[in-house]
Amino acid sequence: MSQGKDKYHQQAQQTKRQFFLSTGLAIFAFVFLYLWLDWGLIISLILSIGIYLGIYYYTQPAPLYEDLEAIRNKYDGELYDLFMEATEEMARIEELSQAQREAGIQAYSQEIVATGWNILKFLEKNPKKISQSRHFLTYYLPTTRELLANYSQLQAAGLTDRRLQEVREDTQESCKLLAHLYQQQLDNYYQDQITQLEIENDLLEKTIQLGSDSLEE
């Protein structure tokens, strides 16, 4: 299961536990107050509802994308919506990839899916990069989905073997290119860190060499 789907599943499970815990304790409180302590129906109901609301609020899970919640408030939700639409696109791409039976296309599409979720994971932790990624998110993700969806439709369209082979080769080549572009996009996010690491490594090597020269003297 993809990282994006995992998050949705986890939050759904947390919400269910939150509801059952709040409801169970509220019912227990009502039975205890009304039947055991004989406090009266109205008072028992009011206190039980208060207990339910208090526990439900207290156990409410954290937002699915905490950093993005802050960005949504700051930018009127535009970047948040962009990210969530991209997440939905990746989920559809993953479904199309899993349904693919052509080995070459499947291999490249799986590579696309893995890199795509890593890109979204990076953007989740670095939401200010979402704006810079707009073209990639709004062009390459829908293009990938359309490419895989069109090939699946053409497979079922009854094309001649020769024509289907041509379409298969073109689709596989396009998937190969997209896999490269996805990886390039991910690498670009870390380029500054890579450059800084290279500078630090060069400085470390020079320092070590300087120390070695001093010892030899």
Summarised one tens digit per residue, pLDDT across range 29-70 is: 888 888 888 888 888 778 878 887 777 666 655 555 555 566
131/121 Cα distance (integer angstroms) = 15
Residue identified by tokens 């954290």 is 62
Q: What's the pTM?
A: 0.59
Instruction: Say if residues 145 and 92 touch (Cβ distance below 8 Å).
Output: yes
16/56 Cα distance (integer angstroms) = 11
Summarised one tens digit per residue, pLDDT across range 140-186 is: 999 999 999 999 888 888 888 898 899 899 999 999 999 999 999 99
Torsion angle (degrees, nearest 10) of CA 125, 131, 137, 139: -170
